Amino acid sequence: MEIGIGIPNTVPGTTGAQMLDWARRAEAAGFSSLATIGAVSYPGYEELTVFAAAGAVTERIRFLSNVLISPARSTAELAKQAASVDQLTGGRLTLGVGIGWRTTDYQLTGRDFGARGQLFDEQLRGLEAAWAGEPLAEGTAPVGPPPVQQPGVPLMIGGMAEATVRRVVEFGAGWTAGGLPPDAVGPMAETVQSAWSEAGRKGRARIVALAYFSLGDTVDESRGYLLDYYRLMGGDIAEMIAGSAMRSPDAIAGALDAYAQVGVDELILDPTVSDPDQVDLLAEVVFSQ
């Protein structure tokens, strides 16, 4: 199982300099991917902009949006932005996408929250067309540039609905599990793999999971951020998520084994504080196993 690390693009108070330092350290430490989370309606740095900047200070590490709420964006803009990042980083982008749960993301971008599933399906088809060089509307030119990766930027589909499995099989390179414990990831991963095989897709669907962490004397800061990020889900859910973050080397080591056992190909350990020293502290734990 590969080990990636998130970048604190949504942690309040994070500076641009910290994120570039974070990206350099993550690559030097040997993490497989640098990942973002994000929401238009939550204060933070826009994901693809972060990747463009991080790509300029790194050479190897891959980039994964985990996940970007794509139906809150226009297909043409997203196709162009993602292909641009893929070109600027030499083909290192994987686009993790999902429909999200914040109505405010759709309110702020003038899109219909209630129709987000339909918008998502239309968009996934549109991304394939755009990256193949096809115009997205009659009488228009292709949005370009073409991505380095062909036939297009790999898509990881997030979500737990039945429609998620269909979208993974039809459009995706695999499934990404956002913040789910191993015992919830395992059954969904099996469902995805079965559908993948039944559809005649070659190989296996890629499975990615995310888990929150902080190390050192950071519990209050870590909890405060997660409680704020998830407060719109309600106090009980926010408390559960804030309490589930891994905050010790033993907890992280146990998670590595548990996620590997349920078939996860890459585990993203997502930060809840912004100090770049977290990268080095995490590397000491995960690469000494």
Predicted pLDDT at 288: 83
What is the pLDDT, as a whole number, of residue 227?
A: 97
> Can you tell me the distance from the alpha carbon of 207 to that of 200, in angstroms, rounded to the nearest whole number?
18
Number of domains present in the structure of the chain: 1
| Separation between Cα atoms, residue 178 and residue 185, nearest integer Å | 9
Strand partners, 227: none
* SS (HEC) of 80-103: HHHHHHHHHCCCCEEEEEECCCCH
Q: How many residues does the chain have?
A: 289
- Are 245 and 272 in contact, with CB atoms under 8 Å apart? yes
Contact, 26 vs 34, CB < 8 A?
Answer: yes
What are the phi and psi torsion angles at 195 (to 5°)? Answer: -65, -40
CATH number at residue 208: 3.20.20.30
Give the residue from 63, 56, 77 showing the smallest Cα distance to 33.
63
- Domain containing 17: what range? 2-286
266: part of which helix (H) or strand (E)? Answer: strand 266-271
| pTM of the complete model | 0.97
Q: How far apart are CA 264 and CA 243, in angstroms?
A: 23
255: CB partners within 8 A, 6+ apart:
182, 211, 246, 267
Contact by Cβ (8 Å): 36, 289: no
From first to last of its 289 residues, what are the pLDDT tens digits of the chain? 999 999 999 999 999 999 999 999 999 999 999 999 999 999 999 999 999 999 999 999 999 999 999 999 999 999 999 999 999 999 999 999 999 999 999 999 999 999 999 999 999 999 999 999 999 999 999 998 999 999 999 999 999 999 999 999 999 999 999 889 999 999 999 999 999 999 999 999 999 999 999 999 999 999 999 999 999 999 999 999 999 999 999 999 999 999 999 999 999 999 999 999 999 999 999 998 6
Q: Which residues pair with 48 in a beta bridge?
A: none
Asked whether the beta carbons of 210 and 66 are under 8 A apart, the reply is: yes
CA distance 63 to 85: 10
How far apart, in whole angstroms, are the C-alpha atoms of residue 96 and residue 94? 6
In the numeric block, which tokens belong to residue 173?
A: 């390179």
Q: Which two tokens stand for residue 264?
A: 């996860």
Residue 5, burial from CB neighbour count under 10 angstroms (0-12, 13-18, 19+): buried
Q: How many CB atoms lie within 10 A of CB 241?
A: 17
